[in-house]
Amino acid sequence: MNHPHPDLGLPARLENNALRIVALGGLGEVGRNMTVFETDGKLLIVDVGVLFPDESQPGIDLILPDFSYIRERLNDVVAIFLTHGHEDHIGAVPYLLRERGDIPVIGSALTLAFIKAKLKEHRITAITHEVKEGTKEKVGPFELEYVAVNHSIPDALAVAIHTPAGTVLHTGDFKMDQLPLDGRLTDLETFGRLGQEGVDLFMVDSTNADVPGFTTSEREIMPVLDRVIGSTKRRVIVASFASHVHRVQQVINIARNHNRKVVFIGRSMVRNMNLAAEMGYLSIPPNTLIDEKEIDNYGDDLVLICTGSQGEPLAALSRMANGDHQIRVGEGDTVILASSLIPGNEAPVYRVINELTRFGARVVHKANALVHVSGHAASGELLYCYNVVKPKNVMPVHGEWRHMKANADLAIQTGIAKRNTVVVDNGVVVDLVNGAIEIAGAVPVGYVYVDGQNIGDITEASLKDRRILGEEGFISVIVVIDSQTGKVVAGPDIHARGFAEDAALFDEVKGRIEKALANAVADGVNGTHQLSQIMRKTVGSWVGGEHRRRPMIVPVVIEV
């Protein structure tokens, strides 16, 4: 756990008729979105998402928000509201509900369908409450008003949070596609009405704030996908997020036009798309979809839609690239990566591209064809929103620092005073009092790592050890000493992994170890701990000076 701002103390008790906002994730990063709102002694949580690990976090499956700020106050939580069904907004809900299972979960129909399926895998049954755009309701001291927004998943919602301290408009993830595939536009009319009534704080998606202009319409990629799929002689494999219903719909339509059967590959893809089809969000023409087990019966006239667009090690596409999936990619196949590249995932994605290319496949991705458009508003759309809403204060959310800073700059360009924009880290406490925002302090927040069945047991020190083992190797040194005299009676015995195979390499340092131990014993040092540290220092100095390496060194001193 780390404290993001040691110069900021813990916040004072919240004033009456004030609103406190604390992000436990999603600021300064793309993912792990979670924000806590407090008024009148009650808490409302908006989104509880996960962050996916990068290469500097070996062995980690997921990264959760740090719940410690609310752990002692879970009984004060009146609800969790989920803006939409992407993993970076709903993925950590099961872990929070393990701590208090009866927190009501509010969301749209598709969002709740996705979270219920996820909770079922965790053997959790939640209290859920389905809502629609254009409705309002009281949730404890909060009045929530749900607003339709367009995103890369159906049924996304923004939320206006009306409190005694003022009104907050939280966009969730959104864009302003004017020709959306499902006809569901971002409701700018309601944004404008809320602006006229007075928005005291506008919390705005920042992910594409540094991208000029307007985000390309989802429809624009149709001709490219059609051309790529139509020109492929063998199979087409499309990798996408398992929740990107609009993208999957396009691929299904194009596959049908080219008389190809469609197969969903990957547990989460199969689960989500079946749910979306059952609920009417995904239209699958008759005799188009086949089961994975039937693949061998249909030759090459197939479009396989799978997970793994971010190079995730266990996802279907990565396993195909490794050659350890039942589906073998080969000469004449085309692989389409129909997604953006999340920051930090570049290396694993390019490794997958290289391996698939080596097998003979043609790999089409965002860098060489228009096969993906973003689900987030670019700077032109954000400027439009600021001019429509005319908020008193602005707090950019959902993005790295460069995105949030660019978003704040856009707000300032539209006439919002710099002092009324706040760009902060996770854990920084922002209070809304009498229509003004102020930084009231900070609370400790950190990364909570999920490693298999372990949640929160892995520390930064553990990850550092894993990185050292992975990059620098391991050396163990064992000596046996006489408990009476302290003299070495056996060893040093040196074993190494991931460092050097030649045992003779260590002959030089063995003499140094014996000499250092003899000098220490002569000086009266005889404790096994002190002697082991002398061994560690001696080996570390030698391996650093002679080989410019910093392996993990484990010294063992045995007394007889």
pLDDT tens profile 352-374:
888 889 888 888 887 777 777 88
> Could you tell me if 203 and 169 are in contact, meaning their C-beta atoms sit under 8 angstroms apart?
yes
Higher-confidence residue of 208 and 338: namely 208
Looking at residue 6, its pLDDT comes to 62
Query: Would strands 334-337 and 436-442 be described as parallel, antiparallel, or unpaired?
Result: unpaired
pLDDT of 398 higher than 70: yes
Interatomic CA distance for residues 543 and 62, integer angstroms: 35
> Could you tell me if 218 and 206 are in contact, meaning their C-beta atoms sit under 8 angstroms apart?
no
Looking at residue 197, its pLDDT comes to 96
pLDDT of 525 higher than 70: no
What's the pLDDT band for 3 if we cut at 50, 70, 90? very low
Rounded to an integer, the average pLDDT of 151-164 is: 94
Interatomic CA distance for residues 99 and 90, integer angstroms: 16
| Coil/strand/helix, residue 362 | strand
- Containing 359, the helix (H) or strand (E) segment is none
Global pTM?
Answer: 0.80
Interatomic CA distance for residues 459 and 527, integer angstroms: 29
pLDDT of 137 higher than 60: yes
Looking at residue 370, its pLDDT comes to 73
Ordered by where they begin, the domains of the chain are: 19-213+374-451 (3.60.15.10), 218-364 (3.40.50.10710), 460-559 (3.10.20.580)
Minimum mean pLDDT range among 229-233, 269-273, 506-510: 506-510
What's the pLDDT band for 97 if we cut at 50, 70, 90? very high
